[in-house]
């Protein structure tokens, strides 16, 4: 996926977590990180804090719910994107994209060979990063 924007380096300690993974997993997580950063910029979420939550790289902004990314060891995917189970996001995504893989009420699961630039994935990320802004409009 080509980018016209400069992607900042992964901050410590998230970089240390990502460096522990085998190269294919790390590369997929870094690709997913790039999509998250690009979508945050496109959606004008304001500052995006990149940190660790529950030992996973996490992305926080004032307009949305926290997104976490990690290796997926539990749902048949290779990597996963997690959101708060207190949101309605995964239910909404299930309805719109029934062919995507989800876990419970808090995760979206991806295979290494999935297109991480897929418009559906970008829509899910945008939904998460703008969750509070959208809920406040209703």
For 72-116, write each residue's pLDDT tens digit.
Answer: 987 667 999 999 999 999 999 999 999 999 999 999 999 998 887
Domain ranges of the chain: 23-137
pTM of the full structure: 0.91
pLDDT the model gives residue 137: 66
How high does pLDDT run on average in the chain?
91
Tell whether the torsion through CA atoms of 41, 21, 14 and 57 is positive or negative: positive
Beta carbons within 8 Å of 25's beta carbon, 6+ residues apart: 71, 78, 79, 112
pLDDT the model gives residue 73: 83
DSSP helix, strand, coil percent of the chain (3-state; round to 5): 40, 20, 45
Residue 138 has pLDDT above 70, yes or no: no
Strand residue runs (E) in 1-138: 49-53, 56-60, 67-71, 79-82, 101-103, 107-110
Residue 49 has pLDDT above 70, yes or no: yes
The partner residues of 2 in beta bridges, in order of sequence, read: none
pLDDT the model gives residue 7: 85
> 40 phi and psi, to 5 degrees?
-60, -40
Q: Report the C-alpha gap between 46 and 121 in whole angstroms.
A: 20
CATH class of 23-137: alpha beta
């Amino acid at each position: 996926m080509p980018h016209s924007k400069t992607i900042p380096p992964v901050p410590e300690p998230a970089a240390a977590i990502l460096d522990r993974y085998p190269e294919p997993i790390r590369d997929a997580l870094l690709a997913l990180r790039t999509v998250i950063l690009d979508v945050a910029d496109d959606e004008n979420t304001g500052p995006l804090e990149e940190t660790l939550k529950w030992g996973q790289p996490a992305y926080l902004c004032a307009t949305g719910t926290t997104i976490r990314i990690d290796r997926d060891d539990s749902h048949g995917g290779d990597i996963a994107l997690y959101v708060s189970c207190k949101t309605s996001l995964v239910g909404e995504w299930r309805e719109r994209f029934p062919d995507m893989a989800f876990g419970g009420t808090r995760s979206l699961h991806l295979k290494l060979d999935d297109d991480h630039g897929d418009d559906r994935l970008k829509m899910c990320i945008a939904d998460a990063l703008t969750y509070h802004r959208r809920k406040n409009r209703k």
